[in-house]
């Protein structure tokens, strides 16, 4: 596994940069320009200017000064870690638009792997999701052009376009013998980051697809709506394939379920990078059972929430180990149009764990499985009621069928989402135990 794959370069197509990072919007503190000049490494800068001059004089084609400087800045930042980057005018605008929940594109989070584009996850309800793009797909061609050797920015620009126009992605999928061609119609992506559904009376499924500025508020609104629909005995909080988002949203979501205590701590070199975030009084579920579903596509802000709820014993974490992005990115504006996204801190769970590169280990591991059809009749055990001349019970002849429904019936939860089905079973068990205490 490549270094880029391990630590992840999670970008949202159309958003370009920012959704996959836990980014706080902070601004460089004012400093005396003379101090900055005094600390410049002059000898190394002479080397830089010498290379710049040689390129300008001797390169086979004329190079624009601005393009050359921007390329140098990008190279300087990309050499630090996979998440630090230069935001040009378009990327900076896309970042600001994306964190509000609306942007143009296909609707996939992507990363670089060995020169190709790896799909981290499709965003729910987007053109890529509806076209059948799956997490783990490797994009090898965009229309008729190979992505081998393309930069991430170039690949993103090719996949962008006017809403209504069509693009063809050639993908390699582990379960398929030959590459697949997938046609997708571009659209304006309006991401609804929180969705909910009633699984069974009293038990709900709440899905957070990414963390935007209003995600915490939207979560509270969804849960209030669930409460109005009936008695809420517990929820499954689903953050599978959630690449993250803004740090404040992760804190708001964690705070919604915690009555007190630490949520997350950040540690960096500057004073502004060292912060402690704590929960305010009040649990929106009033202590009702909570199951959190995660997998390898759960990153950054998702891991903050999972780590906080796990450390406080507020939820059972279920699924697969998470991605392992334990760093914080800060947006440092350079002007009204450009900025630098710089890794400024690491974050730690309430117990002091750093999950950088390791991820959150679930309390209960559950692989992503699909329930296969089996037309063979199931062997049925002989029970008392099957015996000839069995003695009736005390129900005056009124007999109820208490057998559970076959989870393989068409449309059943187990067929649709086996991990969610198992999470629901555990949630019901926890609620039963809690009611008996």
Q: Which residues are catalytic?
A: 300, 311, 325
Cβ neighbors of 314 (< 8 A, separation 6 or more) are 257, 258, 283, 290, 308
DSSP secondary structure letters along 135-201: TT-EEEEETTEE-TT--HHHHHHHH---TT-EEEEEEE-TT-SS-EEEEEE-EEEE---EEEEEEET
> If we measure between CA atoms, which residue out of 224, 277, 226 comes closest to residue 249?
277
Quote the CA–CA distance of 376 and 290 in Å, as a whole number.
37
Residue 89's nearest CA partner among 177, 25, 31, 17 is: 17
Candidates 398, 397, 417; CA nearest to 407 is 417
Q: What angle do CA 62, 79, 31 make, to 5 degrees?
A: 90
Is the distance from CB of 435 to CB of 330 less than 8 angstroms?
Answer: no
User: Closest by alpha carbon to 110, among 179, 171, 190, 167?
Assistant: 171
Distance between first and last Cα of the chain:
48
Give the residue among 11, 8, 23, 18 at the shortest CA–CA distance from 154.
11
CA dist 219 and 290 (Å) reads 14
388: exposed, middle or buried (Cβ count in 10 Å: 0-12, 13-18, 19+)? exposed
The neighbouring-strand residues paired with 37 are none
Which token pair is 170? 């050639």
Q: Which spans in 312-417 are helix H? A: 413-416
* C-alpha distances out from residue 348 to 39, 46, 264, Å: 32, 40, 6
Q: Yes or no: say if 104 and 110 are a contact pair by the CB < 8 Å rule.
A: no
For residue 354, the 8-state DSSP code is B
Q: How far apart are CA 256 and CA 216, in angstroms?
A: 8
Query: How many CA atoms lie within 13 Å of 251's alpha carbon, on the beta-carbon side?
Result: 21
* Beta strands 316-319; 364-365: pairing state: parallel
Phi, psi of 133 (to 5 degrees): -65, 135
CB-CB contact of 422 with 366 (8 Å): yes
């Amino acid at each position: 596994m490549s270094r880029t794959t391990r630590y992840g370069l999670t970008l949202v197509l159309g958003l370009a940069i920012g959704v996959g990072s836990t980014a706080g919007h902070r601004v460089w503190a004012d400093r005396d320009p003379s101090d900055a000049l005094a600390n410049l490494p002059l000898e190394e800068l002479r080397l830089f200017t010498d290379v710049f001059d040689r390129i300008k004089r001797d390169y086979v084609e004329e190079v624009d000064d601005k393009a050359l400087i921007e390329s140098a800045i990008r190279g300087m930042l990309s050499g630090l870690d996979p998440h630090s980057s230069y935001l040009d005018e378009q990327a900076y605008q896309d970042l600001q638009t994306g964190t509000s929940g609306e942007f143009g594109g296909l609707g996939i989070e992507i990363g670089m792997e060995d020169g190709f584009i790896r799909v981290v996850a499709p965003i729910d309800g987007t053109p890529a999701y509806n076209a059948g793009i799956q997490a783990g797909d490797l994009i090898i061609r965009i229309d008729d052009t190979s992505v081998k050797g393309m930069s991430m920015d170039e690949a993103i620009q090719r996949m962008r376009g006017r809403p209504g126009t069509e693009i063809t992605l050639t993908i390699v999928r582990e379960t398929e013998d030959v590459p697949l061609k997938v046609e997708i119609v571009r659209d304006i992506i309006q991401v609804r980051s929180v969705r909910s559904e009633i699984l069974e009376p009293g038990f709900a499924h709440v899905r957070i697809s990414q963390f935007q500025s209003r995600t915490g508020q939207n979560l509270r609104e969804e849960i209030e709506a669930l409460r109005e629909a009936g008695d809420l005995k517990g929820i499954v909080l689903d953050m599978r394939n959630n690449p993250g988002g803004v740090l404040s949203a992760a804190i708001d979501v964690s705070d919604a379920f915690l009555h007190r205590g630490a949520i997350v701590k950040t540690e960096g070199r500057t004073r502004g990078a060292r912060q402690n975030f704590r929960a305010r009084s009040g649990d929106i579920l009033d202590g009702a059972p909570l199951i959190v579903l995660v997998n390898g596509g759960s990153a950054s802000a998702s891991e903050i929430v999972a780590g906080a709820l796990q450390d406080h014993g507020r939820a059972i974490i279920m699924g697969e180990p998470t991605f392992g992005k334990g760093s914080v990115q800060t947006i440092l504006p350079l002007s009204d149009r450009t900025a630098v996204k710089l890794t400024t801190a690491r974050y730690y769970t309430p117990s002091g764990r750093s999950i950088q590169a390791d991820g959150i280990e679930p309390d209960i591991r559950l692989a992503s499985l699909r329930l296969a059809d089996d037309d063979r009749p199931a062997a049925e055990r002989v029970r008392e009621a099957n015996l000839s001349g069995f003695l009736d019970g005390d129900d005056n002849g009124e007999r109820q069928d208490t057998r559970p429904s076959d989870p393989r019936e068409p449309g059943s939860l187990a067929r649709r989402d086996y991990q969610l089905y198992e999470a629901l079973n555990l949630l019901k068990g926890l609620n039963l135990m809690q009611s008996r205490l």
